[in-house]
Structures are given as C-alpha cells and as structure tokens.
Amino acid sequence: MRKRILVIGGGGREHALCWKLKQSPQVAHIYCAPGNGGCREVAECVALAGLEETLAFCKANAVDLVAIGPEQPLVDGWADALRRAGFAVFGPGKAAAQLEGSKGFTKALCGKYGIPTAAYQTFTEPESAKRHARGQRFPLVIKADGLAAGKGVVIAASEEDAVAALDSMFAGAFGAAGQRVVIEEFLEGEEVSFFALSDGETAVEFGHAQDHKRAFDRDQGPNTGGMGAYSPASCMTDGLRAQVMETIILPTVAAMKREGMPFQGVLFAGLMLTREGPKLLEYNARFGDPETQALMVRLESDLYALLSACAEGKLGEMETRFHPGAALCVVMAADGYPGSYRQGTRIYGLEEAAAVPGVMIFHAGTAREGGEVIATGGRVLGVTARGGTIAEAQSRAYQAVDRIVWPEGFCRRDIGWRAIAAA
C-alpha cells in the first residue's frame, strides 16, 4: 500500500524534501504544514496550529510517516507525542534533540565519550564567564546554549568583544537561549557540513556539503542562515569521511543509546577539519538549509525508504546512493536580509529559470497570490543545479538566477568559489 506523508515546516528544506519524496513509488500523497508557494506544486499544503491540531490531522488523514523539518518542534518534543499516538516519525525525541537544543549538553557528551571537539567551559553567571574569557587566547568563540535561530554564536576577536558578547547574551539578546553560555577555543581549518542518518542503533553517511554563511561575496558582510551551498564538499576525502564516521558520528549514536535517549533522524554535524583531524563544532538534529537542496538533487536513493527505515529501526538494511557529480544552491534573498527587508514583492521568470538544464528552484519564503509568486521572507528562493562538476553546477545555477526578474532581491555571485579555485 502506498503511503501518506506529512512534512512539517515551510522553508526551502521542506520544499526539497517534499520534491524528493514525491519521486518515491511508495508514496501516494504528501502533506506539508504549512508549506510555501513552491511546496504546493508537489504537496498539499495545510495550516496546522500546534501539536494537538497536528495529531488530530494525522489521525483524520491516516498519515503513515511524519517528517519534522525545523528544530523547534523537535526540541519541544513533538516526535515523542506523535510516537505515543502510534505514528512513525522521522526526527529525534525531546531528550535526543538536546544535541541541537543545548550546546552544553553536546559538549558534555563529547567530553564523557571522547568525541573530538573544541576545548570549552559552560557558564550560567556573567562575571565568572568574563573572568574566564579574559584569560583565554583570542579569537574566542562564545555561544548561547539554546536555540537562537542560528544567531547565537559570536567570534570574539578581543577581550572587549568577549565581554560585550557575554553582557549582551546574559542581558537577554537571545532570550532564554543565552542564559547559559558556552565559551570554547577557536578552531582553525576548513568547515564542512556532514550528514548521517540514524535509527537509534546505527548510522549511515548521508553526504556532505559546504555552506556560505556570510551575506556577500568573498565571505563578507553579516552572518546569515546560509546564502548557498554545494555538495559534495571538495575537501572531504574517503579517508576523512571514514574518520568522521568512526570518531564522531558512530560514537555519538552509541553514546545517545547508552544514555537512554536513542537518536532517530538525521545528525547534521558542523565540522572543522583541523591539523589534528576533524572536530565537532556543533550538532543540528535536522537537515540543514541550504545544504538539503543540494543533497536532494544529488540523491538517487528512495528518500521515503530511508526516512521510514530510520523511524522503524531498519536502517542497517539500507544504503544511500548519490549522483557522482555535484550540485550547487544559490539562495536569493530579499534586499536588507539578514536585517529588515520588504515583504510582498513580486517575482517573475521562474518558469524560464527552471528551463535551464539540471536546474530545480526550491521556494523558501514565498506565497502565491492570483497566480503570482510573492516574497514573504528573508531567504526566498534556492536556485539549485546539478552538473558533472561544481563549476558546471555553478554555471547552470547562475544562468537560472539571471532569468529571474526580482529587483527587490539579491544573491551572492560566488557560491562554490573556494572549491572551483582549488580545482
């Protein structure tokens, strides 16, 4: 019997997941809550107000699998409630989601089980945190412990920067997330996004990518939620991939099981490739954005089968296959992002852009009004292309970008530049 899926979330990540799930011969129908102007092309978008309404919807519509996209529902325990109600869920329970919800929790787990990460200390009081910071080498990394919408990390170049960051966090700049802070050493090297699927018992690699966090070309400007990504990450050798699995991913899965909080879902490890080897910067307990867009256009395996295997504890029977070439995603954002930006502007030329060979356009912050696409968010589109090489994927993605008519938007013009320069 073909399955009915509910994908929770409304960004580019969820559009990419719905698009890939639609290709599975095992899937009959996809719901996306709330979805966006692009998701509706591959899923039925539904408005669900909170957990109780989601549970009722799943029961009324005989949903077979729920895939939770964003971090907040995971940290809030939605996966636990859905599992108790009898539904298969892709996504960790509340206890396991602490890997993303609390940086202090993850650091303590790494320390207990010997998982390589930056040296750190955790603080709940500003004066002791500032005393510690004053005795460290700079730059120094200061992180809000909890969820801060990707904005709770400060790289302090000096003692003054560190004190200002700590004062800001403890004063409530990130709400409750900043009432506990982690101060850690600054790691030098190349940063990589590494993904693995887990069913609570074991884990399998699920690709890797490099994100571009800064708003402007050559990594200038403020940090954002991600202005583009490419996959595979050119710096990841077969040896490094094996090392990450053996020293970071598999020990984490085993540690979580031993702690009584088995992890079912996707482990998104932010890594730094240092001279001493790969080290964990932080974990996310869900797929990343925009890395997911690049991964989904490369994925050749049946995504539903993989997500279902994670939910049912059968991942050991599965394998993941990716297109041997490359994929690259360029994020188009509203002018002013990540600061204040206009909403309600109109976007044209999407059909022409999607006609470029190998291109798929994923929507993030969009809606549709009278047949027109309206920008409703900061990051609005993920123009994604596949190619034989990163350079070919980049060329196709920017050909598509240049066909889009949206005067109120912008994008970086150099996604993938480091990999292409090194090739």
Same-domain status, 338 and 377: yes
Question: What percent of the chain lies above the pLDDT cut of 90?
Answer: 90
Question: Is residue 106 assigned to a domain?
Answer: no
Among candidate residues 317, 350, 369, the one where a domain is terminated: 317
Same-domain status, 229 and 160: no
d(CA 383, CA 401): 7
d(CA 115, CA 135): 25
Distances (CA, A) of 59 to 52, 56, 365: 11, 5, 29
Is the separation of the CB atoms in 286 and 69 below 8 Å? yes
Assign 34 to helix, strand or coil.
strand
Same-domain status, 338 and 408: yes
Distances (CA, A) of 261 to 248, 256, 282: 17, 5, 18
Q: Structural domain tally of the chain? A: 4
d(CA 126, CA 141): 15
Domain of residue 267, CATH code: 3.30.470.20
Question: Is residue 107 assigned to a domain?
Answer: no
Distances (CA, A) of 277 to 137, 176, 267, 411: 21, 34, 19, 33
Pairing mode, strands 379-387 and 359-363: antiparallel
Is the separation of the CB atoms in 326 and 231 below 8 Å? yes
**Confidence check: pLDDT of 402 > 80:** yes
d(CA 178, CA 172): 7
Residue type, 415: I
Same-domain status, 281 and 228: yes
Same-domain status, 383 and 338: yes
Helix pair angle (250-258, 103-113), 10° resolution:
100
Is the separation of the CB atoms in 91 and 309 below 8 Å? no
Q: Give burial (CB, 10 Å; 0-12/13-18/19+) of 37.
A: buried
Tell me the two tokens of residue 241: 């991939």
φ/ψ of 319, rounded to 5, equals: -135, 155
Residue matched to tokens 């549970």: 55
Among candidate residues 92, 108, 134, the one where a domain is terminated: 92
| pLDDT in the model for residue 37 | 96
Question: Is residue 113 assigned to a domain?
Answer: no
Please enumerate in sequence order all residues whose Cβ is within 8 A of that of 330, keeping only pairs 6 or more positions apart, or say none. Answer: 227, 228, 382, 383, 384, 397, 398, 401, 411, 412, 415
Question: Is residue 8 assigned to a domain?
Answer: yes
| pLDDT in the model for residue 173 | 86
Same-domain status, 305 and 341: no
91-100, 169-178, 278-287, 391-400: segment of lowest average pLDDT: 169-178
Please enumerate in sequence order all residues whose Cβ is within 8 A of that of 111, keeping only pairs 6 or more positions apart, or say none. Answer: none
Model confidence at 370, in pLDDT bands (50, 70, 90)? confident
Question: Is residue 101 assigned to a domain?
Answer: no
Pairing mode, strands 326-334 and 409-410: antiparallel
| pLDDT in the model for residue 135 | 84
Question: Is residue 103 assigned to a domain?
Answer: no
Same-domain status, 334 and 369: yes
Which residue range is the domain that position 270 belongs to?
Answer: 190-317
Same-domain status, 132 and 85: no
d(CA 52, CA 81): 9
pLDDT tens per residue across span 16-54: 999 999 999 999 999 999 999 999 999 999 999 999 999
pLDDT tens per residue across span 173-195: 888 888 999 999 999 999 999 99
Same-domain status, 134 and 196: no
Domain of residue 82, CATH code: 3.40.50.20
d(CA 69, CA 341): 25
Beta-bridge partners for 198: 203, 265
pLDDT tens per residue across span 195-226: 999 999 999 999 999 999 999 999 999 889 89
For residues 124-134, average pLDDT:
91
d(CA 82, CA 226): 30
| pLDDT in the model for residue 147 | 87
Distances (CA, A) of 95 to 60, 65, 111, 262, 264: 28, 20, 18, 9, 11
Among candidate residues 71, 92, 113, the one where a domain is terminated: 92
Question: Is residue 354 assigned to a domain?
Answer: yes
| pLDDT in the model for residue 319 | 87
118-122, 257-261, 308-312: segment of lowest average pLDDT: 118-122
φ/ψ of 161, rounded to 5, equals: -65, -40
**Confidence check: pLDDT of 99 > 80:** yes
**Confidence check: pLDDT of 151 > 90:** no
Cα-to-chain-centroid distance, residue 269: 10
Same-domain status, 215 and 146: no
Same-domain status, 169 and 228: no
DSSP helix, strand, coil percent of the chain (3-state; round to 5):
35, 30, 35
Question: Is residue 244 assigned to a domain?
Answer: yes
Assign 85 to helix, strand or coil.
coil
Domain of residue 351, CATH code: 3.90.600.10
Same-domain status, 396 and 379: yes
Reported pTM: 0.95
Enclosing H/E stretch for 127? helix 126-134
User: For the stretch 142-165, what's the b/e string if a residue is b when 16 or more beta carbons lie within 10 angstroms of its beta carbon?
Assistant: bbbbbbbebbbbbebeeeebbbeb
Residue in 343, 350, 367, 358 with CA at minimum distance from that of residue 401? 350
Q: What mean pLDDT, rounded, does the chain reach?
A: 95
